[in-house]
Structure 1
Amino acid sequence: MADWSPSTYLKFEDERTRPAHDLLARVPLEAPALVVDMGCGPGNSTELLVERYPAAEVTGLDSSPNMLAEARQRLPGVSFAEADAGSWIPDIGTQLVFANAIYQWVPDHLAVFPRIVTALPEGGVLAVQMPDNMAEPSHVLMRKVAAEGPWATKLKGAARQPLPPARVYYDALRPVARHIDIWHTIYNHVLDGPAAIVEWVKSTGLRPFIDPLETAEREQFAARYLAEITEAYPRTVDGKVLLRFPRLFIVAAK
């Protein structure tokens, strides 16, 4: 895929940061010395970690040069570096690995989580949040438009796989974690209309579908997708739409 767009991602900063707030509220650490924000994006989640743990050494990691550039501008006093979430393991002494909406993009993350927890010191915490919305109309319709259009062959396999059930994560982490807190939260984001839903997913879930397309194809895909979204998300009494968004949260303490 092409590099991420911080400006597009941050159009819905408040909504995207809310799950990070909710995840951080459940982290059972008072004063960790070393904290890593894996998949830090433009630094909005890193900012929360710095505010909660002002005495900690906080490092933000991401695979996107564009996101890292935005994060460095936002938090010039914080260390940021490029890293691959699929292979990265925390350095010795890291007490908190915080990951807000990154590991759904890592196909083998179910194997990565136990490796991270194993590398943490006693009492260390892995805190993860991932969208669990592949069955929502926003994503079902991406796959529908992809399969029914002239780009079907080009986009075959573009969709990411759905997350496993919560029990699967629990079973994978239980041998290495002393305590596991795992839950779902369903958000209903109030957006201006169907076009706002398209704008939301353009910076995340829609990217694997539109990045491989030529400019004219992208415009045609977006038009068809918007028509489907308009049908699937009726307007509320004040003209808004509600984007239903389930997310999975995991806090595993070693």
Structure 2
Amino acid sequence: MWDPDGYLQFAEQRVHPFYELLSRIFVEWPRRVVDLGCGPGNLTAQLARRWPGAVIEALDSSPQMVAAARERGVDATLGDLRNWRPRSDTDVVLSNAAMQWVPEHAELLVRWAGQLADGAWIGVQMPGAFDAPSHAAVRALARRQPYAKPLRDLVLREGTVVDAPVRYAELLLDAGCSADVWETTYLHQLTGEHPVLDWISGTALLPVREHLDDPTWQRFRQELIPLLAGAYPARPDGTTLFPFRRVFVVAKVGKSS
């Protein structure tokens, strides 16, 4: 179950990739802008400020996130982005930190490219840190008892979840788009007693939490703390450096002349 408040704990750090993505989409007056995986709507609201003349369409699969977005005045709809189809006036499709949860996201990009009109834009940002020490620690701990049994059916994602940038570029070029694909590793400076645990508790640990009862979950968290502290030691000034890789995919439908 998604927790909008927990996700927004690191809102300042999570907003940077959104603006980097937005800066590479060069359209002035889109008719309809779609935010797929809109989350709590804090960033969706920025789309209306950038493109005040556009209809803003927002979708998320979490009832909690949709409710939080609506509280911010975003007209969000509950739904699965895999079932989404663009309307004829859709000029921009955005998905920020959502499509890594969808195994077939590469196929979706190609499908959308075929459904959108020439001149439309697709912009996607996905975390690509699944080989990071934080994720490796979660996977290692999940294989131990007493966690292995309740987590036996849970697939903990690894580095293959998000492809190399060249793969997305090839797919979109073959689909008749112009493509701008890159990756960035952000070096976040986190504060707090257990900042990396707090960070992944709002995202990567959610599937683990759903499979464990409360006492087992609390024990899992406590055993994870020293693993994360060893991988991400606090600096003398109290901050913790947390590298985080992200992959960006921007495409314009119809190759530029």
Normalised by the size of structure 2, how large is the TM-score? 0.93
Aligned counterpart in structure 2 of residue 10 of structure 1, from 8, 11, 24? 8
Q: Give, in whole Å, the separation in 2 of the partners of 1:124 and 1:169.
A: 17
> 1:99–1:128: 8 Å Cα contact kept in structure 2?
yes
* Deviation (angstroms), 1:117: 1.4
Q: Give, in whole Å, the separation in 2 of the partners of 1:149 and 1:85.
A: 36
Q: Please list every run of 5 or more consecutive structure 1 residues that lacks an aligned counterpart in the other structure.
A: none
* Deviation (angstroms), 1:100: 0.2
Aligned counterpart in structure 2 of residue 134 of structure 1, from 130, 148, 164? 130
> 2:166–2:181: 8 Å Cα contact kept in structure 1?
no
Aligned counterpart in structure 1 of residue 99 of structure 2, from 92, 97, 103? 103
What secondary structure is seen at the aligned counterpart in 2 of 1:211?
Answer: helix
Paired position in structure 2 for 1:198: 197
What secondary structure is seen at the aligned counterpart in 2 of 1:148?
Answer: coil
CA RMSD, 1 decimal: 1.3
Q: Give, in whole Å, the separation in 1 of the partners of 2:211 and 2:217.
A: 9
* Deviation (angstroms), 1:148: 2.0
Superposed CA deviations along residues 211-234 of structure 1, whole A, max 9, x for unmatched, are 100111101100111110011111
* Deviation (angstroms), 1:159: 1.0
Paired position in structure 2 for 1:231: 230
Give the stretch that moved more between structures: 114-123 or 162-171. Answer: 162-171
Report matched runs for 1:44-123 at 5 Å. Answer: 44-74=42-72, 76=73, 78-123=74-119
Paired position in structure 2 for 1:27: 25
Aligned counterpart in structure 2 of residue 160 of structure 1, from 157, 160, 167? 157
Q: Give, in whole Å, the separation in 2 of the partners of 1:175 and 1:94.
A: 22
In the alignment, residue 5 of structure 2 is paired with which amino acid?
S
Superposed CA deviations along residues 233-253 of structure 1, whole A, max 9, x for unmatched, are 111231110111000000011
Q: Give, in whole Å, the separation in 1 of the partners of 2:176 and 2:6.
A: 37
In the alignment, residue 8 of structure 1 is paired with which amino acid?
G
In the alignment, residue 10 of structure 1 is paired with which amino acid?
L
What secondary structure is seen at the aligned counterpart in 2 of 1:99?
Answer: strand
Q: Give, in whole Å, the separation in 1 of the partners of 2:249 and 2:82.
A: 17
Paired position in structure 2 for 1:221: 220
Q: Give, in whole Å, the separation in 1 of the partners of 2:168 and 2:150.
A: 32
* Deviation (angstroms), 1:149: 3.0
Superposed CA deviations along residues 122-152 of structure 1, whole A, max 9, x for unmatched, are 1001100000001111111110110123211
Q: Give, in whole Å, the separation in 2 of the partners of 1:102 and 1:11.
A: 17
Q: Tell me the matched-pair count.
A: 250
* Deviation (angstroms), 1:158: 2.9
Q: Give, in whole Å, the separation in 2 of the partners of 1:201 and 1:194.
A: 14
Q: Give, in whole Å, the separation in 1 of the partners of 2:84 and 2:55.
A: 18
* Deviation (angstroms), 1:39: 0.3
> 1:186–1:244: 8 Å Cα contact kept in structure 2?
yes
Paired position in structure 1 for 2:183: 184
> 1:97–1:127: 8 Å Cα contact kept in structure 2?
yes
